[in-house]
A and B are shown apart, each in its own frame.
Chain A
Amino acid sequence: MSGFMRGNVALMGKIAVLAMITAVLSLLTQHAFVQKEYAIGSFILFAILALNFTYLTKFSIPLKFFAPGILFFIAFVIAPIIFTLSMSTYHYQTGNILGKDESTAQVLALGAEPDGAGTTFDINIGETPSGEYAILVSDIANNKFFISTKDKRTEVPTSGLTLNADGVATAAPGFALISAEKLSANDAYSKVRYYFDGKYYIAIEGLNVGAVFQQSLSYDAASKSIKNVVTGAIYKDNGRGNWAKVGAPDEMLTPGWRAPVWFENYTKLLSDPQVRTPLIKVFIWTVIFAGMSVLTTFALGLLLALALNRKIRGRRIYRSILILPYAMPSVMSILIWAGMFDTEFGAINNILHTHIAWFSDANYARGAVLLVNLWLGFPYFYLICSGSLQAIPAELQEAAAIDGANPRQIFRKITLPLLLQILSPLLIASFAFNFNNFNLIYLLTGGGPRETLDGQIAGATDILISYTYQIAFGNNVQDFGLASAISVLIFVLVASISMYGLKKSKVMETFG
């Protein structure tokens, strides 16, 4: 076996796999650079070099073991974290998603206005013999006819034309009509600016109507501004991702681009009441939710563990049933509970003979969330507590009993403090987990009830993480910048909580 491992076959195999991976990744790098995704492209290039260097040299044996793991770790854990950090310093939301060049190009493309008179012509859409899109324009008022393509206009003498009853030209030499079906399959023709004269062009307004437009916005590279040649207005980069009118900063051209605003998203969290008030509300509920969840699940789990901490009949059966909620895929359980709380058809109203709209009232919804989380979470603490109770030396309790303590005193003075000491890291971990228990909130209540009327998107059961999700992916404005800032804030909070827990569990001491 070891001969085989060292043998030529293994070496060939290694080189073949490495070559294949290199080939695939190289192709990806090339595509990435073509599409101007330089950061991603460079990372893939780095991965290629790192892998080849690691496995073709004897530089470091440990590196051979963790190179793939580390590369994945950097690509999908570290990079998103750094990206989140960087997004949090940007004005990056709906309307400001693109890069600056891209958004300016779009602004200019949209910057066209009809000529003063609003001239329109009857047209027919077709192509030239060379296959270029063309329109046959009938300027009936002036009795002029011409064929326009992207960059030229050819007058057609009336003699060669076929006119219909309205006097509109329908056929001309050097012009072939395209059928309506073909046009509806591909709308590229409608984006062409057909030549009219140097200043104006004809834009297609409908299958038989063309209107005279002129490019109104033009970019001036020297002054780095955009000018509207029709109105004379000047637009300058407002430093926050938009071209804004000089003298009227609220008049902005759309779309904007994502622009660095440094700590604005963070200061907004603290100072803008529109952001701060719901955030504080959500934060308080998050802490209550996580705290109550830990407390209730731990209490019930512990109670059960105490009750079943002696060999009573049927203990094994009880145990198997009690951990079922934990064994079920939680996504399914939460959806089932959501159905049970349904107002019209849910079993809960059915049994209680009530007609409560559970998820429309803030307090009912919060109670429901806690109840479901109790169901989902108590088996975990039941299992943990059962194990830990056995780990507490029986001598301690026996000694206390000999000293005359009753069972309640023994529990309060000896068992519980010891248990809390053993379990405190797990309690903290559970708090941190519930602090970010996105699935439960999202699938059960969706964060609601929400008062959408006043434009607030924070719901009564929204916890920080589901609120962040709403901000980034909700139906209103999608604000990646603000969402990222809140994400960073949550990370700092959760990391501090967890670090504290880990210090307690002495994991850190092992590594100094």
Chain B
Amino acid sequence: MNNWVRENLWRHILAIAICLFSLFPLYLVVLSSLSTGGSLHLTSFVPTEISFNNFKYLFSSPKIPYLHWVQNSLVIASTVAISSVVIGAASAFAFSRLKFKGKRFGIRLLLLVQMFPAILALSAVYVIMERVYKFAPSIGLGSQAGLILVYLGGSMGVNIWLLKGFVDSIPAELDEAAKIDGASAVQTYWLIFIPLATPVLAVVCLLSFIGTFNEFILARLFLVEMNGRTVAVGLQQFIGGQYSQNWGPFAAGSILASIPIVIIFLSLQKYIVNGLTAGSVKG
């Protein structure tokens, strides 16, 4: 017994303490989403009364088009995730499996350029899209389509790089065998590579979904219209400057928006951790 205490007690104490630290803000949000008051104020650790008014408010108030925001986030994030994987997978396949002139230069360029944080080019992207707006307002500054294009293009470097890492880890024997049997590169890609890579592509797709869902600053610059905002921008603007009043609905809204992301994340934990060690950092 004495031995157990010496060996394990500190482990439990530390783990419990840090677990409390982890849970504290989350617990607080749940608490205030169910409370009637409107702040992240702690009156007691146990709720005295439970009310769903904040959730109701979220879906009925004309001041917060919450459902629009959720819909926008889902549409933007899934469009970006799917398109970037479709486009990126083909590029990654070429960079990983095919031989061509300039491949090494291409890989190095990708590696270097993906270090240029997208946010640094923000003013450039802004000015470019402002000009695009002049001749094609539907894909320029202020439009969701424009934002999708910017996300898609901006993530291309990182995504090709990330996908290439995954593709490299898929054994090459099968597609070499196919090649010997006379299959063209296009056939190898569709008939051998894609079925093999589907689970990996799905993971990258979900990661890209989470990343886009989390993106804030471009969305903030691009989406000015109330109904056109994403959840992140909408909720941030909603509480901006008036913490005391709007925290209840904010808490409710952020819980609802976070649940799917948390579920995706936890179910993909294993892959994400592998991806992390490959050198990517979640935003």
A residues adjacent to B (C-beta < 8 A): 1-2, 5, 28, 31-32, 34-35, 37, 40, 60-66, 68-70, 72-73, 75-81, 83-84, 87, 300, 303-304, 307-308, 310, 312, 314, 318, 320-333, 335-340, 342, 344-347, 350-351, 375, 378-380, 383-384, 387, 425-426, 429-430, 432-433, 436, 438-439, 442-443, 465, 468-469, 472-473, 480, 483-484, 487, 490-491, 494-495, 498-499, 502, 505, 507, 511-512
Known: A336-B28, A346-B41, A429-B279. A66 touches B239 (CB 8 A): no
Say whether A472 contacts B122, CB under 8 Å.
yes
> Which 8 pairs across A and B sit closest by C-beta, in order of nearness?
A76-B153, A69-B91, A345-B39, A80-B121, A65-B94, A66-B91, A327-B265, A80-B124
Say whether A436 contacts B22, CB under 8 Å.
no
Shortest CB distance A242–B (Å): 20
Known: A5-B187, A320-B266, A469-B122. A505 touches B279 (CB 8 A): yes
Q: Fill in one digit per residue for B86-119: 1 if any A CB lies within 8 Å of its CB, else 0.
A: 0110110111001110011001101111011111
Say whether B153 contacts A77, CB under 8 Å.
yes
Say whether A69 contacts B243, CB under 8 Å.
no
Which residues of A are found within 8 Å of B111, using beta-carbon distances?
502, 507
Which residues of B are found within 8 Å of A425, using beta-carbon distances?
279
Shortest CB distance A290–B (Å): 13
Please measure, in the bound complex, the distance between the C-alpha atom of A78 and the C-alpha atom of B262, giving whole angstroms.
Answer: 33
B residues adjacent to A (C-beta < 8 A): 8, 10-12, 14-16, 18-19, 21-23, 25-26, 28-29, 39-42, 87-88, 90-91, 93-95, 98-100, 103-104, 107-108, 110-113, 115-128, 131-132, 134-136, 149-150, 152-154, 156-157, 160, 183-187, 189-191, 210, 213-214, 216-217, 221, 232, 235-236, 239, 243-244, 247, 250-251, 254, 257-258, 261-262, 265-266, 269, 273, 276-277, 279, 281-283
Which residues of B are found within 8 Å of A344, using beta-carbon distances?
243-244
19 CB < 8 A contacts A-B: A40-B128, A40-B132, A68-B87, A77-B153, A80-B124, A329-B213, A332-B254, A339-B40, A339-B239, A340-B25, A342-B243, A344-B243, A347-B41, A375-B21, A380-B282, A384-B277, A429-B279, A469-B119, A511-B108
Shortest CB distance A450–B (Å): 15
Which residues of A are found within 8 Å of B281, using beta-carbon distances?
380, 429-430, 433
Which of B124, B135, B184, B254 interacts with A84 by CB under 8 Å? B124
A428's nearest neighbour on chain B, judged by CB, is B279
Which of A66, A375, A433 interacts with B90 by CB under 8 Å? A66
Say whether B18 contacts A300, CB under 8 Å.
yes
Say whether A61 contacts B15, CB under 8 Å.
no
Query: Most chain-A CB neighbours within 10 Å: which of B29, B121, B243?
Result: B121
Which residues of A are found within 8 Å of B265, using beta-carbon distances?
326-327
Say whether B282 contacts A339, CB under 8 Å.
no
A37-B134, A76-B156, A77-B153 known; 9 other A-B pairs, CB under 8 Å?
A28-B136, A73-B160, A77-B121, A77-B154, A83-B124, A307-B15, A324-B262, A350-B42, A494-B115
Which residues of A are found within 8 Å of B11, using beta-carbon distances?
307-308, 310, 312
Shortest CB distance B232–A (Å): 4
Shortest CB distance B134–A (Å): 5
A74's nearest neighbour on chain B, judged by CB, is B153
Which of A62, A87, A340, A380 interacts with B123 by CB under 8 Å? A87
Say whether B186 contacts A64, CB under 8 Å.
yes
Which residues of A are found within 8 Å of B156, using beta-carbon distances?
69, 72-73, 76-77
Known: A318-B15, A491-B115. A333 touches B214 (CB 8 A): no
Which residues of A are found within 8 Å of B277, using beta-carbon distances?
384, 387, 426
B246's nearest neighbour on chain A, judged by CB, is A339
Which of A32, A379, A443 interacts with B216 by CB under 8 Å? A443
Say whether B117 contacts A436, CB under 8 Å.
yes
B261's nearest neighbour on chain A, judged by CB, is A329
Which residues of A are found within 8 Å of B21, using beta-carbon distances?
375
Shortest CB distance B139–A (Å): 8
Please measure, in the bound complex, the distance between the C-alpha atom of A5 and the C-alpha atom of B185, giving whole angstroms.
Answer: 12
Which residues of B are found within 8 Å of A73, using beta-carbon distances?
110, 113, 153, 156-157, 160
Which residues of A are found within 8 Å of B221, using beta-carbon distances?
473
Which of B26, B119, B247 interacts with A465 by CB under 8 Å? B119
Say whether A331 contacts B236, CB under 8 Å.
yes
Please measure, in the bound complex, the distance between the C-alpha atom of A342 and the C-alpha atom of B23, giving whole angstroms.
Answer: 19
Known: A35-B134, A472-B123, A491-B116. A312 touches B12 (CB 8 A): yes
Which of B14, B117, B217 interacts with A304 by CB under 8 Å? B14
Say whether B254 contacts A307, CB under 8 Å.
no
Say whether A77 contacts B157, CB under 8 Å.
yes
Shortest CB distance A82–B (Å): 8
Shortest CB distance B174–A (Å): 16
Which residues of B are found within 8 Å of A433, using beta-carbon distances?
281
Query: Most chain-B CB neighbours within 10 Å: which of A65, A68, A387?
Result: A65
Known: A31-B136, A77-B156, A345-B41. A68 touches B90 (CB 8 A): yes
Please measure, in the bound complex, the distance between the C-alpha atom of A351 and the C-alpha atom of B43, giving whole angstroms.
Answer: 9
Which residues of A are found within 8 Å of B108, using beta-carbon distances?
511
Say whether B14 contacts A62, CB under 8 Å.
no
Please measure, in the bound complex, the distance between the C-alpha atom of A481 and the C-alpha atom of B94, giving whole angstroms.
Answer: 38
Say whether B135 contacts A324, CB under 8 Å.
no
Shortest CB distance A464–B (Å): 9
Say whether B117 contacts A494, CB under 8 Å.
yes
Say whether B244 contacts A345, CB under 8 Å.
yes
A75's nearest neighbour on chain B, judged by CB, is B153
Which residues of B are found within 8 Å of A328, using beta-carbon distances?
26, 258, 261-262
Please measure, in the bound complex, the distance between the C-alpha atom of A304 and the C-alpha atom of B14, giving whole angstroms.
Answer: 7
Which of B125, B185, B244, B279 interacts with A80 by CB under 8 Å? B125
Shortest CB distance A212–B (Å): 36
Please measure, in the bound complex, the distance between the C-alpha atom of A137 and the C-alpha atom of B159, giving whole angstroms.
Answer: 68
Say whether B217 contacts A439, CB under 8 Å.
yes
Say whether B123 contacts A480, CB under 8 Å.
yes
Say whether B135 contacts A31, CB under 8 Å.
yes
Say whether B91 contacts A65, CB under 8 Å.
yes
Please measure, in the bound complex, the distance between the C-alpha atom of A329 and the C-alpha atom of B116, giving whole angstroms.
Answer: 23
Please measure, in the bound complex, the distance between the C-alpha atom of A83 and the C-alpha atom of B95, giving whole angstroms.
Answer: 27
Please measure, in the bound complex, the distance between the C-alpha atom of A74 and the C-alpha atom of B276, giving whole angstroms.
Answer: 26
Known: A340-B25, A512-B104. A331 touches B232 (CB 8 A): yes
Which residues of A are found within 8 Å of B123, using beta-carbon distances?
84, 87, 472-473, 480, 483-484, 487
Say whether B186 contacts A81, CB under 8 Å.
no
Say whether B104 contacts A511, CB under 8 Å.
yes
Please measure, in the bound complex, the distance between the C-alpha atom of A439 and the C-alpha atom of B283, giving whole angstroms.
Answer: 9
Say whether B190 contacts A5, CB under 8 Å.
yes
Please measure, in the bound complex, the distance between the C-alpha atom of A345 and the C-alpha atom of B43, giving whole angstroms.
Answer: 11
